[in-house]
């Protein structure tokens, strides 16, 4: 009887040890994924070529995840907040042919007005997934300049 209890106790200890090892593997793996995500979101230099929006639409694959500069008119400006309280700004940059790029910027971007001319430096993505929605033609802005075009 004591031997049976001893063997059961040893099995529980081994199981606990295995669970601890498995959890530590997931922790290490998620850390490396987080680091990779941070590396991807930090786009580095914001210098890139000025690319007309209609040219982006013709060659989406060429400009996907590239740092570029776009110019156009602002529309549909929205100031929002994540559940955790972090603020962000969404707007659309539109060219003269009604081609539109959805722009996301961290924080509240002051001074934006509907219809004003703007130059946006950032990383373009042909599609981006946010929560359960997928958006096409998205640009993560790093620098926004109001122009007198």
Closest to 97 in 3D by CA, of 141, 49, 55, 138: 55
- Find the range with the poorest average confidence among 23-37, 49-63, 76-90: 23-37
pLDDT by residue (tens digit) across 95-138?
999 999 999 888 888 888 898 899 999 999 888 877 777 778 89
| Residue 148 pLDDT | 61
Gap between the Cα atoms of 3 and 115, Å rounded: 82
Q: Domains of the chain: which residue ranges?
A: 1-42, 53-146
- Find the range with the poorest average confidence among 18-32, 42-56, 135-149: 18-32
Closest to 46 in 3D by CA, of 26, 70, 64, 27: 70
Positive or negative: CA dihedral 64, 67, 71, 77:
positive
CATH of 53-146, picked from 3.10.310.30, 3.40.50.1360, 1.10.10.10, 2.40.50.140, is: 2.40.50.140
């Amino acid at each position: 009887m004591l031997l049976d209890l001893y063997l059961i106790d040893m099995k529980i200890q081994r199981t606990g040890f295995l669970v601890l090892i498995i959890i530590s593997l997931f922790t290490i793996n998620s850390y490396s994924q987080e680091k990779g995500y941070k590396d991807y979101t930090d786009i580095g230099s914001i210098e890139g070529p000025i690319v007309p929006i209609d040219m982006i639409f013709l060659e989406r694959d060429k400009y996907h995840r590239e740092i570029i500069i776009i110019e156009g008119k602002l529309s549909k400006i929205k100031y929002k907040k994540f559940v955790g309280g972090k603020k962000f700004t969404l707007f659309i940059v539109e060219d003269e042919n009604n081609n539109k790029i959805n722009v996301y910027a961290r924080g509240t971007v002051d001074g934006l007005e509907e219809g004003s001319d703007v130059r946006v430096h950032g990383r373009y993505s042909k599609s981006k997934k946010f929560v359960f929605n997928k958006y096409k033609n998205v640009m993560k802005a790093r620098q926004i300049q109001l122009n007198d075009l």
